[in-house]
């Protein structure tokens, strides 16, 4: 049985969460506080398996509440957010330690919310993230030489991605090739993520758009809710294209992005970071089978390790590295000299 604590000052949203969960046999709501202080007290006292916080309204400082909860209790926190003006809080909440989020229109995300509550509740993880952030470790000798110049970097990530991406991108500088990132997010959230990462890192980071020319130094966050793929024109220009999602569950699809990148005439570097599920397995296989390089984040350093672990077990991870090592490789292989 998963013990769930819900924090919301909106009775409408509280009822919506309750209705969404319904009489699920494996989820028990153990508390529904409506004040910050009571929420902190119950989180520490009850030690629930997972917690849901409603970020719909701005009347209380949820970020301070989040920090206080995590300072006193170790538990997975899922954020409920709308998809407009308060998204900045959602992105910051994930960066501060929330493990996941759900858009406010719960009637369209009922199964998603239940699955995430069950997943995070069953994991019973130690919540504080410990991504390697230092640059003291030396580059492994077998990675210090590159025979061909990288033409494109593609990155795939899901749960835990915003934290991993921020850590990685803060550790590099402008690169001599473009980068496209597929982070599983709903529509409207990727524009905010791109803006947030741009401000935090100073790099040229934008939300991807259909027909976007991918030039050196540009980092494009594939648009949420739809799929992106790569095309190369007759002049060798690399173009980002978009298409209506297939029946795949997660968007933007990492497999779709990676499989399209595998056909470029230029060398491609694929990177699989923290994430839930198997998206990226087929794409990594396609890149590996065209004699290109795949780096998987070390599972021990992931918030959720199933995505990189799946690629590793499939035998198509050329290297398995920590975030700090991946950053060093990007600087060694792809930075402007």
**What percent of the chain has a predicted confidence (pLDDT) above 70?**
87
Tens of pLDDT along 52-75? 988 665 545 667 778 788 777 778
Cβ neighbours for 220, distance < 8 A, ≥ 6 positions apart: 178, 179, 180, 181, 194, 205, 206, 207, 208, 212, 214, 240
Across 158-183, average pLDDT: 94
Q: Which residues of 10-40 are buried (b: 16+ CB within 10 A; e: fewer)?
A: beebbebbeebbeeeeebebbbbbeebeebb
The per-residue pLDDT for 57 is: 59
The per-residue pLDDT for 89 is: 73
Whether residue 251 has pLDDT greater than 80: yes
Evaluate whether 2-123 and 141-334 have a shared fold.
yes
Per the CB < 8 A criterion, the answer to whether 65 and 36 are in contact is yes
For the ranges 62-66, 245-249, 282-286, the lowest mean pLDDT is seen at 245-249
Structure tokens of 29? Answer: 């709501």
Whether residue 11 has pLDDT greater than 90: no
Q: Which residue has the tokens 């538990």?
A: 75
Q: Which residue has the tokens 């493990």?
A: 99
71 backbone dihedrals φ, ψ, rounded to 5°: -75, -20
The per-residue pLDDT for 214 is: 98
The per-residue pLDDT for 242 is: 94
Angle at 214 (CA atoms; ends 249, 88), nearest 5 degrees: 55
What's the pLDDT band for 244 if we cut at 50, 70, 90?
confident
Whether residue 313 has pLDDT greater than 60: yes
For residues 128 and 111, give the distance between their C-alpha atoms in angstroms, rounded to a whole number. Answer: 27
More confident residue, 124 or 159: 159
Catalytic residues: 158, 184, 279
CATH fold of 2-123 reads Rossmann fold (3.40.50)
Statement: the pTM of the whole predicted model exceeds 0.85: no
Across 245-274, average pLDDT: 90
Query: Which residues face 179 on adjacent strands?
Result: 153, 219
The neighbour count for residue 109, using CB atoms within 10 Å, is 17
More confident residue, 229 or 37: 229
Tens of pLDDT along 123-141? 754 433 343 333 334 455 5
The per-residue pLDDT for 31 is: 92
| Architecture of the domain defined by 141-334 | 3-Layer(aba) Sandwich (3.40)
Average per-residue pLDDT for the chain: 85
Tens of pLDDT along 138-149? 455 555 555 568
């Amino acid at each position: 049985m998963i013990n769930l604590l819900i924090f919301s000052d909106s009775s409408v949203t509280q009822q919506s969460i309750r209705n969404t969960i319904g009489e699920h046999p494996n989820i028990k709501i153990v508390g529904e506080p409506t004040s910050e202080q009571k929420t902190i007290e119950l989180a520490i006292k009850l030690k629930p398996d997972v917690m849901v916080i409603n970020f719909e309204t701005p009347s209380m400082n949820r970020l301070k509440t989040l920090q206080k909860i995590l300072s006193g209790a170790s538990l997975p926190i899922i954020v409920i957010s709308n998809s407009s003006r308060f998204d900045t809080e959602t992105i910051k909440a994930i960066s501060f330690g929330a493990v996941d989020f759900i858009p406010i229109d719960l009637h369209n995300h009922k199964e998603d919310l239940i699955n995430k509550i069950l997943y995070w509740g069953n994991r019973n993880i130690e919540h504080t993230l410990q991504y390697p952030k230092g640059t003291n470790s030396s580059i492994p000798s077998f990675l210090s030489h590159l025979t061909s110049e990288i033409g494109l970097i593609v990155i795939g990530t899901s749960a835990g991605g915003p934290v991993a991406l921020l850590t990685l991108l803060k550790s590099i500088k402008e690169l001599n090739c473009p980068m496209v990132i597929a982070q599983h997010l709903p529509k409207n959230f990727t524009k905010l993520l791109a803006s947030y990462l741009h401000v935090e890192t100073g790099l040229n980071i934008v939300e991807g758009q259909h027909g976007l020319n991918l030039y050196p130094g540009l980092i494009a966050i594939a648009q949420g809710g739809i799929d992106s793929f790569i095309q190369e024109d007759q002049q060798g220009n690399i173009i980002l294209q978009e298409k209506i999602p297939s029946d795949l569950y997660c968007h933007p699809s990492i497999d779709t992005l990676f499989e399209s990148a595998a056909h470029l005439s230029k060398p491609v570097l694929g990177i699989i970071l923290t994430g839930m599920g198997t998206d990226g397995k087929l794409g990594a296989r396609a890149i590996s089978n065209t004699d290109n390089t795949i780096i998987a984040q070390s599972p021990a350093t992931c918030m959720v390790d199933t995505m990189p672990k799946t690629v590793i077990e499939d035998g198509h991870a050329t290297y398995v590295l920590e975030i700090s090592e991946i950053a060093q490789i990007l600087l060694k292989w792809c930075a402007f000299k």
